[in-house]
Structure 1
Amino acid sequence: MSDPRAVADVMRGVGVWWAVAGGWAIDLWLGTRSREHHDVEVVIRRCDQQLVLAALSDRWEMWCLDPPGSGWRTWDGHEVRPPAFQLQARTSEIEFDLFTESVVDGAWTYRRDARIHRPADEVVIVASDGIPVVRPEVQLLYMSTSGDAKNQQDFEVALAHLPPADAAWLAQSLATTRPGHPWIDALNPNR
């Protein structure tokens, strides 16, 4: 089941910093569903893994991809460290992925390139329905590393609504991490 509202209800009870990520973050930010989604992804601070496990493990099966590429295995509660970052919570009715993010002393660092960072409170915004989501420019930075059609679609849908300062941040971040990325020109049409 891919229902970000149900996942938000679960995460509100956990008591940690979190936000819906992925394609759902874009759609919740826009206030409309632009495409089908097959999963719900949530970001949490890496340091909150044990709190999430303690809050969910009595009703949820907890899984991890550690080491990356190894396939899902039961999460025994060990600290998942980079390059691993992905956990999953499952019941018979719902499942969602949890991505651990580096947030230290109030600063978020992009997991794929530490040169990109900003205050953690600038990484998340609250959508019109009250659900915290990863800001679109940050989410699109993550999506930029994949050539998936769905990520391209999310970029195109978001681009028309992205405020100029956010588009500039994304363009600069892409120029730093992925020089020559085709989205840079789309973000800077007068260049």
Structure 2
Amino acid sequence: MFARADFPWWIAGGYAIELAVGHELRPHGDIDVLVLRRDQARVRVLLTGWDLYVADPPGQGRLRPWPAEETLQPPLHDIWCRRTPQTPWSVQLMLDEAEGTQWVSRRDPGIRLPIDRLGRTSETGIPYLAPEVQLFYKAKATRDKDETDFAAALPLLDAPARAWLADAINVISPDHPWLRQLPLVSRT
């Protein structure tokens, strides 16, 4: 479905880690896809006919319909998608911020990356979030599956990716246990 997109997008979540490591790690309930907030109108066109709901407010377990004419503003960033109201949720769409050519973390605007470094492409041509970026998201409230993903992806991270991840996690959670396995680098 997203192969037709004329905007950048990346597989996110556990599937992003699996695309990086090259094999399945665990079962998944849906597919996470990250797009830039500035492309949300184009996403709406791509998902014409789908049943779309936005988590409002975020993280509270409540969903409401996302009308076609509504432009979602921060802090809204999480959209649940299914083909019809009778089918299960199959895609979780996440909107992220950007300024020009920079991706900007919604958790802290000081955490950034050039958009062209935000993702990778699998051998089969599927774009996915760079492992260090996906692990940054997973670091907020780690669950068993996040620990599995961290252990699988950590050996793939080169020194700059490890340093970026350590720096980013240190900003949002200076006591995070993953930091013991990552180098700290000053953000200044």
Same fold (TM over 0.5): yes
Q: Does 1:176 align with 2:182?
A: no
Where in structure 2 are the equivalents of 1:1-191 lying within 5 Å?
10-58=1-49, 60-68=50-58, 69=60, 71-77=62-68, 78-91=70-83, 92=87, 95-188=90-183
Higher mean C-alpha deviation, range 80-89 or range 130-139: 80-89
* Residues 144 and 157 of structure 1, relative CA distance in 2, 3 Å threshold: same
Measure, in 2, the Cα distance between the counterparts of 1:46 and 1:20: 15
| AA of the residue aligned to 1:82 | P
Amino acid at match of 2:27: E
Q: 1:50 to 1:67 in 2, by over 3 A?
A: same
1:14-60 deviation digits (Å, cap 9, x = unpaired): 322100000100001111001111111000110111111122123x1
List gaps (5 residues or longer) in structure 1. Answer: 1-9
Contact 1:31 1:128 in 2 (8 A): no
CA distance in 2, matches of 1:80, 1:42: 16
Distance 2:89 2:48 in 1: 14
**Shift in Å at residue 118 of structure 1?**
1.3
Q: Distance in 1 between matches of 2:71 and 2:165?
A: 31
Give the whole-Å Cα distance in 2 for the aligned partners of 1:82 and 1:153.
Answer: 30
- TM-score of the aligned structures, taking structure 1 as reference length: 0.87
Q: With structure 2 as the length reference, what TM-score do the two structures score?
A: 0.89
Structure 2 unaligned residues grouped into runs of 5+ = none
- CA shift at 1:66, angstroms? 2.3
Secondary structure of residue in 1 paired with 2:128: strand
Match of 2:156, SS?
coil
Residue 129 of structure 1: how far off its partner (Å) = 2.1
Cα distance in 2, alignment partners of residues 84 and 61 from structure 1: 17
Q: What displacement does 1:95 show? A: 1.8
* Identical aligned residues as a percent: 32
Work out the CA distance in 2 between the residues paired with 1:168 and 1:105: 24
Is the 8 Å Cα contact of residues 17 and 153 (structure 2) preserved in structure 1?
Answer: yes
